[in-house]
Chains A and B, each alone.
Chain A
């Protein structure tokens, strides 16, 4: 059978319909690829073999009884989920000792949507503990390695979701993005990663980190595959009160390929281009990508985001405050780790949370505790919410002059394990992605080839106005027409050599 590791959604559907291969074969090949290759990547925390084979059997039944064309757009597509997304009967650990033995009693809406669309669930994916990090190094179960260079991080926090797709171990995965946790790992692993506008995708069943910032989105090796996934998960969910009713035709938006961008105005932000810490090779790519879009018929305009430099400090106020409150639920009573042998509840709380949470989780909890304390609240939390107003207004004004903004996804390519040990420096990894979460609009990372210096993948970020996520897909389609779909990382493609 053809190489399943490189196939996209459309190819899989055509192959199944034509009887070139069965969904069972596809599932088995994928499981075998994970078994053979994940030892060196560690993208998966749990492989759901039986669930995959059961889902494949349904697809094969539909093929044999002639109802396959009624199946959803992801019929037979190997998918997997970040480990903060509940899938009934699987462990949902958030890569934390706190939830090591937690078994989901229900399924998140976004996961349900992927499975209803016909996806074959392969398993659950590694992440930074509770999504606190930019490298997947804070996982309590060991880091994930970047398939492009195993000595480097895959980015984070959705590092497992990005690495699995880059290594051909899944076609589409879901992750979550609170400050860049989809876009930065997508950029480090050379694939497409989408952070939809806040409210586009239900968060019901997603373990909360920063509730005013969190959003779920897909990873894929092509813009089209990401569009198929968006089509499946962008819908109103009465179980999430932030979920909006928005009809977006993602596939229609990209149908014209490079031509999709003709006539669009694409903004460049001077302050981003001149940002200290932006690697020269990433800046070169940014300029190159702007030329690509111009050649495809887009008009490049310069726009300003005057308060973007306040975004990081606003984020590291808002994020920990919301995390502090969300992580209060881990009480060692209803679920989660309980330290044994305590005779009073107070000491059980303290000991369980001490043993259950890793150092970064504790840092964010204590930072939130400090920032929300009396007298300190007025100095940080309240101003951060005022800054949110300014950042949001910046985007509204910038989008009066353009239809999408082009920016780096990350200031540099993937770094080595242990290379960034200071938490404050690690927080700068998200300098170009954070303001989008604060304002709530959409952003996606699109692979633009390899950096001239590092030889590693560089992603460009395309930013949309709120609820106009089709705009970034149009720009992404034009970039992909030049740079090509994301390849499976070298060394992970069995057809090589």
Chain B
């Protein structure tokens, strides 16, 4: 079978997609992706010259704006209710700057 992606490619894509993969998963994923991408080849074999793309089934779609009026929304507590970690009414995350020991 044609190799479309290498293990290194998959590792890079996983890093980009922020999905950790262990070594065993990396091997399996590389094999699976090559097999799936192989089934996608028909898409490259059509004569599509001059065919306009359809990015969305509702072609006439335009942006919908509502009147700028106050409407009910979540309270701060409701918005935070599903947060894995929170502190002082805010989402709590690990350090994003510096050495990470802050």
Task: Name A residues whose Cβ lies closer than 8 Å to a Cβ of B.
Answer: 101-103, 105-106, 198-199, 212-213, 238, 241-242, 244, 307, 309-310, 312-314, 316-317, 324, 328, 332-338, 342-346, 348-351, 353-354, 357, 359, 362-363, 365-370, 373, 379-380, 382-390, 392, 422-424, 427, 438-440, 466
What are 21 residue pairs bridging A and B, where the CB atoms are less than 8 Å apart in the complex? A102-B82, A199-B58, A212-B56, A238-B66, A310-B42, A313-B43, A328-B17, A333-B83, A345-B94, A348-B94, A353-B17, A363-B32, A369-B16, A370-B4, A380-B43, A382-B53, A390-B46, A424-B35, A424-B38, A439-B57, A466-B57
Measured between beta carbons, the chain B residues less than 8 angstroms from A387 are 43, 46, 48
B33, A105: Cβ atoms closer than 8 Å: no
B19, A366: Cβ atoms closer than 8 Å: yes
B36, A367: Cβ atoms closer than 8 Å: yes
Query: Known contacts A353-B18, A423-B35; is A383 also within 8 Å of B46 by CB?
Result: yes
**Interface assignment of B13: CB less than 8 Å from any CB of chain A:** yes
A332, B84: Cβ atoms closer than 8 Å: yes
| Closest A residue to B28 using CB positions | A359
**Interface assignment of B63: CB less than 8 Å from any CB of chain A:** yes
User: In the bound complex, how far is the Cα of B101 from the Cα of A241, in angstroms?
Assistant: 44
Query: A317 to chain B: closest CB distance in Å?
Result: 6
B91, A334: Cβ atoms closer than 8 Å: yes
| Closest B residue to A392 using CB positions | B54
**Interface assignment of B9: CB less than 8 Å from any CB of chain A:** yes
Interface of B is mostly: loop
Residues 39-82 of B contacting A (Cβ, < 8 Å): 39-44, 46, 48, 51-58, 61, 63-64, 66, 74, 78-79, 81-82
User: In the bound complex, how far is the Cα of B41 from the Cα of A387, in angstroms?
Assistant: 13
How large, as a class, is the contact surface on chain B?
A: 35 or more
User: In the bound complex, how far is the Cα of B43 from the Cα of A438, in angstroms?
Assistant: 14
Q: Which of B4, B43, B53, B95 contacts A343 (CB 8 A)?
A: B95
Known: A309-B42, A350-B20, A439-B57. 16 other contacts (CB 8 A): A313-B39, A333-B91, A335-B84, A343-B101, A350-B19, A354-B20, A362-B21, A367-B36, A370-B4, A383-B44, A384-B43, A385-B55, A387-B48, A388-B54, A389-B54, A440-B58
A362, B39: Cβ atoms closer than 8 Å: no
A370, B82: Cβ atoms closer than 8 Å: no
Measured between beta carbons, the chain B residues less than 8 angstroms from A389 are 51-54
Q: Which of A345, A383, A422 contacts B93 (CB 8 A)?
A: A345
A440, B93: Cβ atoms closer than 8 Å: no
Measured between beta carbons, the chain B residues less than 8 angstroms from A106 are 74
Query: B55 to chain A: closest CB distance in Å?
Result: 5
Measured between beta carbons, the chain B residues less than 8 angstroms from A466 are 57
**Interface assignment of B27: CB less than 8 Å from any CB of chain A:** no
Query: Known contacts A334-B83, A363-B32; is A316 also within 8 Å of B54 by CB?
Result: no
